[in-house]
Amino acid sequence: MAVVGPMTGDWAYDGEEMRRGAQLAVDDINAKGGVRGCKIALTVLDDQYTPATAIALATKLAKDGVRFVIGHFNSGSSVPAAMIYAKNNTLMISPASTNPALTEFKLWNVLRTAGRDDVQGTFAGEYMAAHFTTKNLAIVSDGTPYGDGLANKARKALRAKGNPEKLAKKIKPGQGDFADLIGELKSMKIDALFFAGLAGDFGPLVRQTKEAGLKVQFISGDGALVHDLPGKAGPALEGVLIAFSLDDRGNPSAADVVARFRSQGFEPADYTLKSYAAVQVAAKGIQMAGSQAPRAVVASIKSGQPIPTVLGDLTFDDKGDRIQRDVTMYVWKKRGDGTLTMDFQSQ
């Protein structure tokens, strides 16, 4: 088995989470006798967050006979690597790639313990319909494939709940000045707005709307989450809602593993537990199939039988997506020292 992700460079911390999660899962499984009497040997490889490196490593792993891969991290690497694995009888389980395209190709060999981006759009639409039933709602996309995908899901969810948006708009990525859009928000008395897009536009839009004196409840997805979002939006970020992946550390099934990581001085955030779960899914699939043959393993995993993991019981659809939603709502709050942080939003 191999775990492949960005082990160096700007995304190295995420790669370290993948490595630590996969390694502890392998150690725990091996300590109990392994899988069907065989111990798991784990190789760690650095794809440097680049598609070209991911393709090269996928080709090498296939040639070397590695048939189970935990990875890759970013969807731009996972999608081309998955195609190579599919042609070379290798199962890939990504703990981090959320682009819907990864499983929409319906490759036989792809699974993920992470959720999908577009689930955030559906969730946001349902949330708006439930919490703003008498309000004027808007959906704004940044026009990227990511943004349009989320916006379409949110729109469909709102209309299914009988509470369609009053305004639907697209902006130009990087346009910077949102005076015209803000004018429309004001004239149409928009109360809540779902922004489907990236932080470079979301932050300035939130800030400029506040500066214009409008009180609009902003909601967005994980595309808006970058480390400098508070700097882009300023104090106006307080109260903004973000639909994002569950914090797996609070899952009762993960309590023991979380405690052991913390005893080692490591905080198992984000992709640590999803990587641990990916190893569990592969191991359980081998047990259920009674074989290490990847196609038989995939068939067993997709059979509908719940698989116990640190994320709780997971079941997978025929595309390889987890059926259990990996999304909740967070809110930006001001700390005592005046800085902003994201916390769970009461639902």
Longest Cα–Cα distance of the chain, Å, equals: 69
Residue with tokens 């190295």: 12
Average pLDDT over residues 16-44: 97
- pLDDT at 225 (0 to 100): 82
**Cβ atoms 40, 25 nearer than 8 A:** no
Percent of all residues in the chain with a pLDDT value above 90, rounded to a whole number: 87
Average pLDDT, the chain: 95
Which tens digit of pLDDT belongs to each residue from 168-187?
999 999 999 999 999 999 99
Give the tens place of pLDDT for each residue, 40-84: 999 999 999 999 999 999 999 999 999 999 999 999 999 999 999
Count of CA atoms in the C-beta half-sphere (13 A) of 149: 17
pLDDT band at residue 223, thresholds of 50, 70 and 90? confident
| Rounded CA separation 130/161 (Å) | 8
Residue 35 contacts residue 287 (beta carbons within 8 Å): yes
Q: Considering Cα of 342, then 220, then 188, then 231, what sign does the dihedral take?
A: positive
Query: Residues 6, 46: contact at Cβ < 8 Å?
Result: yes
pLDDT in tens, 231-275: 999 999 999 999 988 999 999 999 999 999 999 999 998 899 999
Structure pTM? 0.86
Element (H, E) at 343: strand 340-344
Question: Does residue 227 surpass a pLDDT of 80?
Answer: no
Residue 226 pLDDT greater than 80, yes or no: no
| Distance between CA atoms of residues 45 and 49, nearest Å | 11
Which pLDDT score, from 0 to 100, does residue 339 have?
83
Per-residue pLDDT tens digits for 146-163: 899 899 999 999 999 999
Pick the more confident residue, 194 or 144.
Answer: 194
What is the residue type of 124?
A
The answer to whether 151 and 195 are in contact (CB under 8 A) is no
Per DSSP bridges, beta strands 307-309 and 312-314 are: antiparallel
Q: Rounded to an integer, what distance in angstroms lies between the CA atom of residue 266 and that of residue 272? A: 10
The pLDDT of residue 346 is: 52
Radius of gyration, alpha carbons of the chain: 21
Name the nearest CA neighbour of 158 among 115, 195, 119, 124.
124
Query: Per the omega criterion (within 30 degrees of 0), is the bond before 131 cis?
Result: no
The residue ranking higher by pLDDT, 226 or 85, is 85
